[in-house]
Amino acid sequence: MKLFTIIFLVITVSIFGEEKKATFSGGCFWCMEAPFEKIDGVIKVISGYTGGLAPNPSYEQVSSGKTGHLESVQVFYNPAKVSYEKLLYIFWRNIDPTDDGGQFVDRGEQYSTAIFYHDEEQKLIAEKSKIELGKKKIFDKAIVTPIRKAMVFYPAEDYHQDYYKKNPIRYNYYRYRSGRDQFLEKVWKK
């Protein structure tokens, strides 16, 4: 039986690739799930909290701005189908990396941006992508999104998961009213 299990695991990894994870903070996690979930090779995206020290924080605690946690998404992906570079490409094109006070209508540290790396390779790739984005002079201000070592990630409450699917009317209204779409369209039309 053990030999069968080992053979099955080897075949599974060779066919489907090894699952890896990436963690990003881009303001409201509702707005960050959808862009990543649409990418071929992304297995799942979980909304949650990371970056602070408070254990098992609730949405109410994080939104108070007193936990040090940021609303974040953890992206599980197959690196044989989608690269970490592609995930960074998606991340940069869904945030305002020049705003260190939050994102769009959502203000406070808990809505600020960050890339949380899980290994040295991700750190180097993230740093390189940030430098390259800065060289393109797309933004009028400096890119302030920090690149930080991954910390414990706490999944958000169930009602936050896949919010854009469960509540499409409310999600689309929030997203439009937040100013995110207008900003992204203006910046990336260039």
Catalytic amino acids? 28
CA atoms of 17 and 15, how far apart (whole Å): 6
Q: 75 with 22: CB under 8 angstroms?
A: yes
* Among the listed residues 21, 112, 15, 126, the one whose alpha carbon sits nearest the alpha carbon of residue 62: 112
User: What tokens were used for 157?
Assistant: 């409450």
User: Which residues, 6 or more positions from 61, have their beta carbon under 8 angstroms from its beta carbon?
Assistant: 54, 67, 69
Q: Half-sphere exposure of residue 62, counting CA atoms within 13 Å on the CB side?
A: 28
User: What tokens were used for 170?
Assistant: 């409310």
* Among the listed residues 28, 75, 50, the one whose alpha carbon sits nearest the alpha carbon of residue 181: 28
Q: HEC string of 96-165?
A: CCCCCCEECCEECHHHCEEEEECCHHHHHHHHHHHHHHHHCCCCCCCCCCCEEECCCCEECCHHHCCHHH
